[in-house]
Structure 1
Amino acid sequence: MNNLKRLGDKISIPIPLDENGYIGRECPQSDCEGYFKIISGTGLKGDPLFHCPYCGYKANQKQFWTKEQIEYAKSFAINQITGALLKDLKSMEFEHRSQGSFGIGISLKVTGKPHAIRYYREKKLETEIVCDRCTLRYAIYGVFAFCPDCGTHNSLQILEKNLELAEKEIVLSTTVQAELSACLIADALENMVSAFDGFGREILRVYASLATAPDKAENLSFQNLIRAQKRIQEIFDFDFAFGLTDSEWELACRCFQKRHLLAHKMGVVDEAYLKLTNDPYAVIGRKIHIDSGEVVTLASSLKKLGAYLTQQLEIKKKGTPSIMKSDHI
């Protein structure tokens, strides 16, 4: 049984990577079982703990093998054992031919194949991310996630990436004719508002348990900054507008209202807009003017506002008193 002995008491099982170097992982929580991928060697070094990017569950990395990988590993091990056993039995084959007219022949023949290996392929995912805190490269379904390595939620990182894309539209608007330029500027504004709304909804979902009314936190919209400001102060007890100066806050609120006109009024100024913004340059019944400079300033303000909102929620999570301010209300 030399071949079987050579296997020893451990079998090394190679886990294949996908074509981009990712290896699959799966949340061990039965009510989640979310599938994601990482590139080994990136991120933290030597940390045995992992976080599910979807539900945030934390456990040893060894608990995050996928069902397909486990079945593959089992079949690989059985393949090695049955293969070695067959080789050992093959070495015991013999054949004694019959002698004479009434001789009896005897032989031993071994047939069969090693146990089949259950190969698998990693799944295709929708978003690839490089964590801006620990540099882990990972892939997920959807957009928002906790970093599997350091546990940082990527909502602020995604916001900043989307704002940067919108800023590129502004740059592009300077290279085309006036009509197309205006469309690009308006589109950049709408994309910035949508990006912040998506970010705000997600970050409040993550921290909803800290709110006095978690259900309201999970359903709060950020398409109207003034309304969002009041709701956050009611259920989280801090003023997130404090992340901006008075002039930055005023411009951001005005830009969000301009986006509302674009989305619901074909960009035509109405009485509600004037009442909410006191815009001295707007005239009821005429199209709203959107300047590229104010959209660029908005991008900067939203990055600051997003960072401040995240910071205050983290402070609240740690139990440190938040900074209050109601000057903007």
Structure 2
Amino acid sequence: MRNLERLRTGGSGSKMTVGVPPPRTPSGRVYRYSPKEDAHPRHFLLGEVNAKFTIVDAARSRMKLEPRSPQTVCPYSGYVGLDAEFNHPDDMKAAVELVKHAAMSDVEEMLASAFKGLNNRSSRNSLVRIEAKVSSRPRPKPRFSRRDLLREMECDHCGRDYGVYAIALFCPDCGAPNLRLHFSRECKLVGEQVELADTLSSDRQELAYRLLGNAHEDVLTAFEATLKVAYHYALSQRPEIKAKPVKNEFQNVDFGRDRFSAFDFDPYDNLSADELAVLRLNIQKRHIIGHNLGVVDAKFAKQATDAKIGETVHLIGQDIIQFASIGQKVIDRLDEWIGGTTSPKPLNPPAPVPDGPAADKKDNQQMSGHCKVI
């Protein structure tokens, strides 16, 4: 059983135990699948550990389990289970196919060897001569490809590399809250969009404006989605609280605050009055960009003192970075609430917020499309 022997992991005599390592992506990650049916989308990837990473004692207080243990944490729900519970169903099917291929190859080799001996024992001069031949069509060894996911992460508590389809609440290795880390990744991508717009020449103002508009919308999209995920997780931990299905409440500070009041928690309580004003203004600006092609209407003109009805809303790269930075402070507060303590790993410092209640002042860099990041 030459081929099966290569897969042997234990056993003795006629009882052989075989094992097949799961397929890996080009970057070395393994597909995992949450056993929790309501942990959408259930799929995620688990990679290697950063060998240079040092785990500090303060980070351990936020972990669900010791890193590198034989358990896995669902990044979407926080469920903790044995590694085997998270085997991807497609990988298990692939393992069966590989074992079947090895077994069939061994059977064919054994039959070919047996019949070859029979042919050698048959005399050419005998009255009756029996000749046996084994005919088989070569079977290609099954191969299974894997692709990496779009959102790549590295836990800033334990150094584990992983990838997710949706917003990750927890690290799949140590279980530490990773909500702030996930939103930080979104902010980084937004910053790259702003930088790209800044490289465009003056004759490509329209394209620059589109890029800035997309970056601005992406901030609120990520912000709203992250608040929603945190809210649903909180509901899952407090089944006695009954709530109506969430619509677009988290595109509004007051409605979002009202949702979290059921848990006696305010995700905006760490914002100053000026920061809150900037957040409100940018949320409204996103609606103008997304639903009115960037054209200022009467409602927005009341909020932004420099906006005129019928004109295109101004976009400045630094304002978008500032919007993302304020959103990050809110998500940091959510992460602290979920984890019970503040993360010992600081992220990038927030962008400064201008003084004044209006918080919508602009400098000489204000343009309809182009931006300059300070």
1:95 to 81, 101, 121: 121
Alignment of 1:299 with 2:319, yes or no, is no
Going from structure 1 to structure 2, the CA distance change for 1:13 and 1:315 (only over 3 Å counts) comes to closer
Question: Would you say the 8 A contact 1:48–1:60 is kept in 2?
Answer: yes
Q: Are 2:255 and 1:227 aligned?
A: yes
Partner of 1:129: 152
Q: 2:24, 2:146 within 8 Å by CA — same for their partners in 1?
A: no
Q: Equivalent of 1:160, from 178, 184, 187?
A: 184
Compute the TM-score of the two structures, normalised by the length of structure 1.
0.72
More moved, 236-245 vs 105-114: 105-114
1:230 to 1:215, Cα distance in 2 relative to 1, 3 A: closer
What letter is aligned with 1:237?
Answer: D
Deviation at 1:311, TM superposition (A): 1.7
Task: Write the letter of the residue equivalent to 1:130.
Answer: M
Q: Percent identity?
A: 22
Contiguous gaps of at least 5 residues in structure 1: 317-327
Distance 1:242 1:52, change over 3 A: closer
**Greater shift after overlay, 89-98 or 15-24?**
89-98
**1:21 equivalent in alignment to 2:28:** yes
Letter in 2 for 1:265: N
Conserved? CA contact 1:185–1:290, under 8 Å: yes
Q: Distance in 2 between matches of 1:247 and 1:271?
A: 23
Distance 1:2 1:308 in 2: 58
For 1:38, the aligned partner's letter is L
CA-based RMSD of the aligned residues comes to: 4.3
- C-alpha distance after superposition, 1:31-87 (max 9, x if no partner): 879444433566986411123445554322234333323313542563476367547
In 2 relative to 1, CA 299–52 (structure 1 residues): closer, same or farther, beyond 3 Å? closer
SS at match of 2:28: coil
Hey, which of these two has a bigger chunk of helix by percent?
Answer: 1
1:170–1:188: 8 Å Cα contact kept in structure 2? yes
Q: Unpaired segments of 5 or more residues in structure 2? A: 52-65, 342-356, 358-374
| AA matched with 1:169 | Q
- Shift of residue 209, structure 1, vs aligned partner: 2.1
Moved more, 244-253 or 176-185: 176-185
Q: Distance in 2 between matches of 1:292 and 1:240?
A: 26
Higher RCO (CA < 8 A, seq sep 6+): 2
Match of 2:193 in 1: 169
**Equivalent runs, 1:277-296 vs 2, <5 Å:** 277=303, 279-296=304-321
For residues 260 and 236 of structure 1, what CA distance do their matches in structure 2 show?
Answer: 28
* TM superposition score normalised by structure 2: 0.64
1:315 and 2:340 correspond: yes
Question: Would the aligned equivalents of 2:67 and 2:173 in 1 still touch at CA under 8 Å?
Answer: no
Alignment: residue pair count:
310
